[in-house]
Amino acid sequence: MDLHTKQRQFSGQLYKYTNVMKGWQYRYFLVDANAGLLHYFLCEGEKPDGTVPRGSVHLAGAVICPSDEDSKTFTVNCASGDMLKLRATDARARQEWVNGLRAVAESHTKAISASSPPLPPREQLAVLDALGCVRSQLQQTEQADSALCRSIESAGKYLLF
């Protein structure tokens, strides 16, 4: 991972888990710390020279977690509900990415909190209730998605090409 503190960008190649059928795909990632964005491209040659990224996520409010499945994998759980499952080349690289992404996420989360006035207690409770409902719906959706993926994998065993 290249860390450019003056430009407040860091970048490098990671594997991104796309889906059950395609699995892990090599992608070039670029973090714009000033904007609080994580961009990814198909390859390094596509970066900031005007090329539109393959995808981008806001890091404000994101939770970045090392995975228990191995020493290289981690997830970026965005406040928007988007989730990226990423894999570095080794444990040390994973920790550098996790630390860097957490720093950017925390910085932008604090900036948003400082610029937004706190809600009155009644509205805070309403927001917490809404988040609880959304969390429950998200969990149900993830369970349905997992069941669907298992069904697709099972059906694939019986297809004749």
pLDDT tens across 88-124, in order? 999 999 999 999 999 999 998 888 777 777 767 677 6
81 and 126, same domain (yes or no)? no
Report the CATH number that the domain containing residue 112 is assigned in CATH: 2.30.29.30
11 and 56, same domain (yes or no)? yes
112 and 65, same domain (yes or no)? yes
Residue 160: per-residue pLDDT: 62
26 and 88, same domain (yes or no)? yes
28 and 57, same domain (yes or no)? yes
139 and 109, same domain (yes or no)? no
Number of CB atoms found within 10 A of residue 116's CB: 8
Please calculate the CA angle 52-54-57 and round it to the nearest 5 degrees: 95
91 and 152, same domain (yes or no)? no
Burial of residue 130 (CB within 10 Å: 0-12, 13-18, 19+) is: exposed
153 and 87, same domain (yes or no)? no
- Helix, strand, or coil here: 20? coil
Helices then strands, each counted (H, E), the chain: 2, 8
pLDDT tens across 62-98, in order? 899 999 999 999 999 998 888 999 999 999 999 999 9
Taking the whole predicted model, whether its pTM rises above 0.75 is answered as no
What is the C-alpha separation between 86 and 66, in angstroms, rounded?
10
101 and 144, same domain (yes or no)? no
96 and 128, same domain (yes or no)? no
For the chain, the domain total comes to: 2
Q: Is the pLDDT of residue 5 over 50?
A: no
28 and 100, same domain (yes or no)? yes
89 and 123, same domain (yes or no)? no
Domain membership of residue 146 as a residue range: 118-161
